Amino acid sequence: MCGIAGIFHTSPTHGPVTQQQVGNMLRAIRHRGPDESGIYLSQNFGMGNVRLSIIDLASGSQPLSVENNRYWIVYNGELFNYPELRDELQKRGRTFQTASDTEVVLQSFAEWGPDCLKRFNGQYAISIWDEHRKELFLARDRAGIRPLFYAYRTGSFYFCSEIKGLFQLPQVERQITANGLAQVFSFWTTLTPSTPWKDVLELPPGHYMRVNQHGTVIQRYWRLSFPEEEDQTEIRSVNETAEELKWLLRDAVRIRLRADVEVAAYLSGGLDSTITTALIRDIEPDILNTFSIGFQERDFDESNYQTEASQFFGTHHTSFSCSNAEIGENFINAVYYSEYPLLRTAPVPMYLLSKKVREQNIKVVITGEGADENFAGYNIFKEAAIRRFWASQPNSTVRPMLLKRLYPYLPVIRDGNPTALKMFFGFGLQQTDDLFYSHLLRWHNTSRIRNYLSEDIKSTAQPDFDKALKIIAGPAFSNYGNLAKAQHLEFSVFMSNYLLSSQGDRMAMGNSVEGRYPFLDHRVIEFAANLPENHKLIGLNEKFILKKMAGKTIPSSILNRSKQAYRAPVSGGLLGSNAPDFVHEMLSEANLHNAGFFDSAKVNKLIQKMENGKMISEIDQMALSGILSTQLLHYLFICGNPPPDIKKDLRKPKVLHQPGS
């Protein structure tokens, strides 16, 4: 796993790219690869990487070239099926200098061009320079596990694994946009390819890009698709389907255990991580290191299930409890690594968990992300089904009571009467023909945070949400069934840009730890997408086929437990006696006015309400997190104040020059 960065002056009048320019970008992302670094320079082009060495520790350094220095690569990721592809390429006459997956990626591109991406099973952001054609090729994995950002300026193109690397260039302005905030305060994230930052874009998942002196071309090479609504028959039995799923998942885990370093696993106490742990033990029965995190507040804690699972499998388990004070203290680090406004504190414990992993000199962990999206595990899927059921009899006082079963951990819902539930869940109830019905309520509730924006930001924002969503959804979306529509939105809007970014890649790589995700193997994704809806959600029973597959291989208490969303305390860590000094500083009237994003009077009223403990809602908690994180982004990046413990020392890079440059 690595971080990559580069500069391409498409106009020759801009002069050469320097080692210092690329080195400054790499220095900003050195946490992604503290083991070594390398830079390649060729006239008007330069790129480099920082390396977290996992495969071929001795000879897997980058940049790497093939075909008499025609093709050069820097690469962030892992190609899990590289041994099989290497064998195929050798049969086609290609010879290899190293045992690394990086060279397999480059040789595959030299052999098949962009079509090589269809053969890859992995998680990656790829940069390949063609010296003969003077052309840059960039690509990103299907699910968007690994990030890749870019920016244009007249005659120049810049790219990096993280936005902070782009900010090392004076040509890239550090400015949070009104449209970016409006999107985050609706969808929890921006809509690809947008980011919250002016003129900074992301290469969308499942896409590649070509850049040359004539311009850029972006091409999709993979699209998530579901059967059309009427095509929902299943010729296999449930048992046969469960067996096929087990084979796929087992193989997805098997190839993700490929590494020249130790591989550990997260064990949250939920179904997904317990299944991956069971599969790891089945494949490699040696002692497995597992890690989990609990919480000081019992409403958020799952430690009992974590302990039960670790004892069941006999793992070498490391568990620790995260206090509210630790969440508050580390919130600034989570914001620094995410580079986005955060509407929850949930990334902070993931950051602390990866820190604990790294303290034990482990670089790779297998986790369960992706199962909820693939097999309809989230409450939003069940919530949409209940709302549709309720919408057929909107005056019913019984049907809305079903919603209590989804959120027993939220007192306002658990203790609510039909009138209160209608106020909370009734928005757009009868708009069942809306393409985005499943998510209308979530987006509406989140959009209430926009009330805290300043008048200047409100008047400047001109978001065309509907148009952007339809582009992301794709042309076949309207023909999908109700559950498929909801799954597609969760996968394409929320998963990559929020879940895998703010809680996955960015928090783990902040501590130089690589996460691997068997449920996001594209074979598993495609298999799950093509299952009938009743193999995923039956009534309010989520992940039906996954539970069927797991059977007796995991503890019954975990198999049959109610779904509990992963959350972390917000106000308990950011307000009151646990609050770090930066909270009051960032939310002071002077700083709010200076940044210009929020109405200081409304923010102050929110803080007073929360400190007084008066009917604090989930939206209040999200607003606090969103406002504070945005203020921190301004402080960290626009004002230029990185956290004091951020290391920026860069291993002396190996610098390679194209002859004559």
Whichever domain contains 206, its CATH number is 3.60.20.10
Contact 599, 614 (CB under 8 A): no
Q: Determine the angle formed by the axes of helices 482-489 and 465-473, rounding to 10 degrees.
A: 110
Indicate whether 58 belongs to any domain.
Answer: yes
369 and 284, same domain (yes or no): yes
In a domain, 517, yes or no: yes
Together in a domain, 132 and 9? yes
Q: What is the dihedral of CA 307, 313, 317, 320, to 10 degrees?
A: -20
- 278 and 388 in a single domain? The answer is no
* Beta carbons of 100 and 56 less than 8 angstroms apart: yes
DSSP 13: G
Based on the fold, state whether residues 440 and 363 are members of the same structural domain.
no
Contact 439, 489 (CB under 8 A): yes
User: 560 in helix, strand or coil?
Assistant: coil
Say whether pLDDT at 651 is over 90.
no
Q: Is residue 29 a part of any domain in this protein?
A: yes
- Same domain, residue pair 451 and 535: no
Asked whether residue 594 is assigned to any structural domain, the reply reads no
pLDDT, tens digit, 9 for 90 and up, residues 193-222 = 999 999 999 999 999 999 999 999 999 999
The answer to whether 489 and 224 are in contact (CB under 8 A) is no
CATH of the domain at 512: 3.40.50.620
Number of domains within the chain: 3
* Most confident residue range from 51-60, 521-530, 614-623: 521-530
How would residue 280 be classed by pLDDT, with cut points 50, 70 and 90? very high
Q: Residue 617 corresponds to which amino acid?
A: S
According to the per-residue pLDDT averaged within each range, which of 324-333, 463-472, 570-579, 608-617 is highest? 324-333
| pLDDT higher than threshold 70 for residue 157 | yes
Which structural domain, as residue segments, surrounds residue 424?
379-457
Q: Which two tokens stand for residue 234?
A: 């299943």
Q: How many CA atoms lie within 13 A of 239 on its CB side?
A: 0
Residue 335 lies in a domain: no
Look at residue 297 in the predicted model and tell me its pLDDT.
79
Q: What is the pLDDT of residue 659?
A: 67
Q: 38 with 150, same domain?
A: yes
Say if residue 234's pLDDT is above 80: no
Say if CB 218 and CB 203 are below 8 A apart.
yes
Check whether residue 71 and residue 106 sit in a common domain. Answer: yes
135 in any annotated domain: yes
Are both 437 and 528 inside the same structural domain? Answer: no
Domain boundary among 539, 559, 579: 559
The pLDDT-based confidence of 255 (bands split at 50, 70, 90) is very high
Torsion sign over Cα 479, 538, 568, 360: negative
pLDDT digits (tens, 9 = 90+) for 309-322: 999 999 999 999 99
- Rounded to whole angstroms, how far apart are CA atoms 355 and 358? 5
Q: pLDDT value at position 49? A: 96
Q: Could you tell me which residues come within 8 angstroms of residue 91 by beta carbon, excluding any fewer than 6 positions away?
A: none
Per-residue pLDDT reduced to its tens digit, 459-504:
998 777 888 898 898 889 999 999 999 999 999 999 999 999 888 9
Has residue 233 got a pLDDT over 70?
Answer: no
Residue 621 lies in a domain: no
Across the chain, what does the average pLDDT equal? 93
Angle between helices 324-338 and 618-633 (to 10 degrees): 50
**Res. 11: pLDDT tops 90:** no
342-386 confidence digits (pLDDT tens): 999 999 999 999 999 999 999 999 999 999 999 999 999 999 999
Question: Considering the chain, what percentage of its residues have pLDDT values greater than 70?
Answer: 98
Residue 145 falls inside a structural domain: yes
Residues 254 and 361 in one domain: yes
The confidence band for 661, taking pLDDT boundaries of 50, 70 and 90, is low
Give me 108's structure tokens.
């595959």
> What confidence score (pLDDT) does residue 529 get?
96
| pLDDT of 36 above 70 | yes
Q: What pLDDT, on a 0 to 100 scale, did the predictor assign at position 270?
A: 93
Q: Helix (H, G, I), strand (E, B), or coil: what is residue 395?
A: coil
Same domain, 129 and 61: yes
Residue 480 pLDDT? 95
The answer on pLDDT for 456 being more than 80 is yes
The pTM (predicted TM-score) of the whole model is: 0.96
- pLDDT over 90 for what percent of the chain? 78
Q: Is 425 exposed, middle or buried (0-12, 13-18, 19+ CB in 10 A)?
A: buried
Are 42 and 77 contained in the same domain?
Answer: yes
pLDDT at 1 over 80: no
Contact between 291 and 266 under an 8 Å Cβ cutoff? The reply is yes
Q: Could you tell me how far CA 105 lies from the centroid of its own chain?
A: 23
Identify whether residues 367 and 452 lie together within a single domain: no
